[in-house]
Amino acid sequence: MDYLYDGTFEGLLTCIYYHYKKEEATGIYSIESYQQNILNRSEEVESDVEKAKTVSDAINKKISREAYEDVYYCFLSSVTNKENIILDFLVFAFKYGRNTMNFYSHDKVLPIKEVSLKVSREVHGFLGILRFSDIEGILFARFSPDHDLLILLVDHFADRYKYEKFIIFDEKRNKACVYSDNYWEVKENINFDNLEYSNDEKRIHSLWKQYFNDLAIKERININNQFQFVPGRYRKNMVEFK
């Protein structure tokens, strides 16, 4: 049976639930991207919080916290076929339980590890290269990550800027996280156009740019190296590269 889910994490875990409790899954696909075929029957699965929780508890308890994180990170990735990477991994992992992570290079484990690593690398990268501007007292950051990792960034900044108000805006997916007073929420279908910087703000941008440009040691210029660390696609939202 091909299970089709609504694109949410709960939906995906619900499919895993049915794989065990109802009928084995031949694959899991999002409803949007599913291509009907003659070989497999398919069924749309309705997200069920309870069932999803049963599965997530089982992953945490029977496999490991690390496995749960890998599953979640893989889910947030923009890798096509990520649902089946997760399915394959979980089927394997529920068999081997706590030992699973010793099979790093196994066909059913390596793919999820690689995807999860990709996502966590991008998260770590953005902790550094996300740029805020002060717009009327609110810190505003715009970015377009490869993977859907907005909510993985929030905790870090919510602690760092605990007494500030901030907005982190994923311009690729049109969603934003809005934080103030120890509380945050994600707003979907949102847009921020034509934001104006004050003169004070522009001044600080210029100070930073000047500092950034002066810092390079002429004798050691190595543009290739720099490109490896800050790929071009990230630069459009970084003050110092504008």
Partner 1 sequence: MDDNLFKKLRILSDAAKYDVSCVSSGVERKNNTVGGIGNASAAGICHTWSQDGRCISLLKILLTNDCIYDCSYCLNRVTNPTERATFTPDEVAELTIQFYRRNYIEGLFLSSAVEKSPDHTMENIYRVLELLRYKYNFWGYVHVKVIPGASPMLVQKTGMLADRMSVNIELPTKESLKILAPQKKIENIIKPMSLINNEITRTIEDKKYFNNTPRFVPGGQSTQMIIGATPDSDKTILSLSQNLYEKFNMKRVFFSAYIPVISSPNLPAISSMPPLLREHRLYQADWLMRFYYFHSEELFTEIEPNLDLEFDPKMMYALRNIHKFPIEINKASYEELLRIPGLGVTSAQRIIRERKNAELSYDSLKKMKTVLKRAKYFITVKGKYYGNVNLEPEAIRKELTQQEIQKQLSIYDML
CB under 8 A: which stretch of 32-40, 68-76, 177-185, 214-222 binds partner 1? Answer: 214-222
Q: For 150, how many CA atoms within 13 A lie in the half-sphere containing its CB? A: 23
Distance of alpha carbon 26 from alpha carbon 209, whole angstroms? 53
Give one DSSP letter per residue of 3-20, joined into a string.
Answer: EEE-SSHHHHHHHHHHHH
Under rule CB under 8 A, residue 210 binds partner 1: yes
Under rule CB under 8 A, residue 219 binds partner 1: yes
CB under 8 A: which stretch of 35-43, 60-68, 85-93, 210-218 binds partner 1? Answer: 210-218
Dihedral over alpha carbons 162, 237, 70, 40 (to 10 degrees) = 130
Q: Could you tell me the two tokens for 121? A: 């690398």
Q: Could you tell me the two tokens for 120? A: 């966590």
Minimum distance from residue 139 beta carbon to partner 1 (Å): 6
- Furthest-apart CA atoms within the chain: distance in Å: 66
Query: Of these, 102, 182, 194, 199, which contacts partner 1 (CB under 8 A)?
Result: 102
Query: Of these, 43, 198, 226, 233, which contacts partner 1 (CB under 8 A)?
Result: 226
Under rule CB under 8 A, residue 195 binds partner 1: no
Contacts with partner 1 by CB under 8 A: the residue count is: 50
Minimum distance from residue 202 beta carbon to partner 1 (Å): 12
